[in-house]
Amino acid sequence: MNIVNILEEIEKVDGEIYERLNPRRQAMKDFFNVGKKISLAAMPLALGSMFNKAYGQTTLPAAVVDVLNFALSLEYLEFHYYNHALLGTDVTFTYPGASKAAITVIRDHEKAHVDLLKGALGASARAEITYAMTDFTVGGAFPVYSSYPTFLAVAQGFEDTGVRAYKGQAGALMVSPGILQTALQIHSVEARHAAHIRQMRTTPEGGNVAVKPWVSLGAAGQANDSGVPALDLVYAGEDS
């Protein structure tokens, strides 16, 4: 989950968000190091407390609720994508080696992000997005649950999208050392996920795709190195 990106979006509707948080730098630092101190189960309460203290009230502003609910929508989609790949009865591909364990870890992270955002939003959380409301095959165009290579290709698109959200944030976040530190920590974790998915695609079972662990130009110099033209928008501008 891109907490830093969420804060950037909140800044668009509340230009004083960092000033609200800045007087509490130590509290922010403590929160963003929370993974070292408490379990993921306790993080929803911690995140909700952070925003409530920032605004000095128990009800989040409508604009902030909108930003967090948008993030929650994305987390629901990512969770269902991986969760169905692990539990769906219509999944016909076979996980090679330790790949299922890796996807399970990523799925669990997405579920934790959903729970965290729901906890922060409380009664303002959007209605749940169920798997039945999704269509990751896009009408059958992407056999993500019958083709392991296709599943990984689309997963790469998901993960690279998350990593791109952090680009250009360091300068803007220097006003708050605690938040900047967290941006770098979260970016590192997201990048490792993306790199692992990319590495999985280079295996024979993953399709022997010639991708590097990081985003790079495609064989013809194009921005999209995934080999899937439908994902061009994910990589727009990477060739500039």
123 or 218: whose pLDDT is higher? Answer: 123
Task: Give per-residue pLDDT as tens, 94-116.
Answer: 999 999 999 999 898 888 778 87
Query: Does the pLDDT value for residue 173 go beyond 90?
Result: no
Q: Minimal CA–CA distance to 223: which of 237, 209, 207, 204?
A: 237
33 or 84: whose pLDDT is higher? Answer: 84
DSSP tag of 130 = P
Cβ atoms 235, 218 nearer than 8 A: no
Q: Residue 156 — left, alpha, or beta (φ > 0 → left; ψ -120 to 50 → alpha)?
A: alpha
3-class state of residue 139 by DSSP: coil
240 or 202: whose pLDDT is higher? Answer: 202
Domain ranges of the chain: 3-235
Q: Dihedral sign for Cα 68, 69, 74, 75, please.
A: positive
* Highest mean pLDDT out of 63-72, 101-110, 118-127: 101-110
Q: Minimal CA–CA distance to 43: which of 35, 54, 51?
A: 35
Query: Does the pLDDT value for residue 167 go beyond 60?
Result: no
